[in-house]
């Protein structure tokens, strides 16, 4: 039996988690309303450290509702705060803040019961790339404990500014130097890969093959499925809605259908359109395997 026959397509989106929606219960309902069978959340505002106590997140009810709706909690993703920069070797206080916050975030994710935490590798702030990568390794080694239930998925980045994690070689360098490499993997972002120069549009199979050769496909824990407003190699990082960017609908559809990605959570992070969530429409298009011009106002951005 092939991998595609053995595992199902996990397709979902980034959803909110807030008090009016009863936190995790609202997140689940939003995902279901979009036709998703996986989803990604922040456990709090991504730009600050304010966090609702886990006791108030309705975890038990959430797990019950997940079971009722045939969604496996192991297929969900949490995105770590943007404020964490473990690659920062120039400001010790900022690095230590990131270490403390990531430890707290792992505890929150474990309390919820989700297994995958996506994290931006961070910025070198102009320091030599090897110095930044070594600092990231140092931070991960301080954070990760043997026996933890959460894996960290370092996200592929577009290369704007001084971002690290723009090449597969970066991830190999990091993983090879960890005390507990079994707890760290990678999250593909199709927009970021495109903008970093990988041929996502025309030859995604070669991208997978290169990743498998350098890092290992077993390390691919999640995928962010986004179109890009910019050409390959632009190093810009501007997400576009599915079919309205330079990657295009057919190429992104083929990624969801790739047998080597079956069973790996694929989530949309595309921009809202006229203050409206686009995910229900985009997920439906991908399931139906046909592009529909549902957002004609976006055509002038293509």
**Contact present, 157 and 120 (Cβ < 8 Å):** yes
Q: Over pLDDT 70: what percentage of the chain?
A: 97
**Number of Cβ atoms within 10 Å of the Cβ of 167:** 17
Average pLDDT rounded to a whole number, residues 160-181: 97
pLDDT of residue 4: 40
Provide the 8-state DSSP code for 164.
S
Res 3 pLDDT > 50 = no
Residue 104 annotated in ligand binding: no
Residues 204-231: tens digit of each pLDDT? 999 999 999 999 999 999 999 999 999 9
Mean pLDDT score of the chain: 95
120: three-class secondary structure by DSSP: coil
Mean pLDDT of 4-22: 83
Determine how many CB atoms are found less than 10 A away from the CB of residue 146: 8
Average pLDDT over residues 249-265: 97
**Domain containing 252 — which CATH number?**
3.20.20.150
Q: Give pTM, 2 decimals.
A: 0.95
Checking phi first, is residue 85 left (phi over 0); if not, alpha (psi -120 to 50) or beta? beta
Identify the domain containing residue 284 by its residue range: 3-301
Convert the pLDDT of each residue in 117-158 to its tens digit: 999 999 999 999 999 999 999 999 999 999 999 999 999 999
What residues form DSSP beta bridges with 48? none
CA atoms within 13 A on the CB side of 153: 26
Q: C-alpha 167: how far from its chain's center?
A: 16
Q: What percent of the chain has pLDDT over 90?
A: 91
| 14 has binding-site annotation | no
At residue 6 the predicted structure's pLDDT band, cuts being 50, 70 and 90, is very low
Q: Which residue in 32, 24, 95 sits closest to 63, CA to CA?
A: 24
Number of domain units in the chain: 1
pLDDT at 167 over 90: yes
Beta bridge partners of 184: 152
The CA radius of gyration of the chain, in Å to the nearest whole number, is 18
65 HSE (CA, 13 A, CB side): 15
Compute the average pLDDT of residues 96-120: 97
Question: Residue 7 — pLDDT band, cuts 50, 70, 90?
Answer: low
First to last CA, the chain: 40
- 7 or 294: which leads in pLDDT: 294
For 256, what's the count of Cα atoms within 13 Å in the CB-facing half-sphere? Answer: 26
Q: Which residues pair with 47 in a beta bridge?
A: none
Residue 60: CB partners within 8 Å, gap ≥ 6? none
- The pLDDT tens digits for 19-48 are 888 999 999 999 999 999 999 999 987 777
Position 51 pLDDT exceeds 90: no
Burial label for 137, CB within 10 Å (0-12, 13-18, 19+), is buried
Instruction: Find out whether 155 is annotated in a ligand binding site.
Output: yes
What mean pLDDT is predicted for residues 248-252?
Answer: 98
């Amino acid at each position: 039996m092939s991998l595609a026959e053995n595992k199902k397509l996990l397709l979902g989106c980034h959803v909110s988690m807030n008090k009016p929606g009863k936190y995790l219960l609202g997140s689940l309902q939003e995902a279901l309303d979009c036709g998703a069978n996986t989803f990604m959340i922040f456990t709090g505002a991504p730009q600050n450290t304010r966090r609702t106590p886990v006791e108030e997140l309705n975890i038990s009810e959430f797990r019950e509702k997940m079971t009722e709706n045939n969604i496996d909690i192991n297929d969900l993703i949490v995105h770590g705060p943007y404020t964490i920069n473990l690659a920062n070797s120039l400001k010790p206080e900022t690095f230590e803040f990131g270490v403390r916050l990531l430890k707290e975030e792992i505890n929150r994710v474990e309390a919820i019961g989700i297994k995958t935490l996506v994290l931006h590798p961070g910025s070198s702030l102009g320091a030599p790339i090897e110095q930044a990568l070594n600092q990231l390794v140092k931070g991960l080694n301080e954070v990760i404990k043997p026996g933890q239930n959460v894996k960290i998925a370092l996200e592929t980045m577009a290369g704007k500014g001084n971002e690290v994690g723009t090449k597969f070689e970066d991830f190999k360098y990091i993983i090879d130097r960890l005390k507990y490499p079994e707890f760290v993997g990678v999250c593909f972002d199709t927009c970021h890969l495109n903008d970093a120069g990988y041929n996502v549009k025309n030859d995604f199979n070669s991208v997978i093959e290169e990743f498998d050769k350098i890092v290992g496909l077993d390390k691919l824990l999640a995928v962010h499925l986004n179109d890009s407003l910019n050409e390959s190699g632009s190093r810009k990082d501007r997400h576009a809605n599915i079919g309205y960017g330079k990657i295009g609908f057919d190429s992104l559809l083929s990624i969801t259908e790739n047998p080597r990605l079956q069973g790996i959570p694929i989530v949309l992070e595309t921009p809202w359109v006229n203050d409206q969530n686009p995910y229900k429409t985009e997920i439906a298009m991908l399931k139906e395997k046909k592009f529909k011009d549902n957002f004609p106002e976006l055509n002038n951005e293509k």
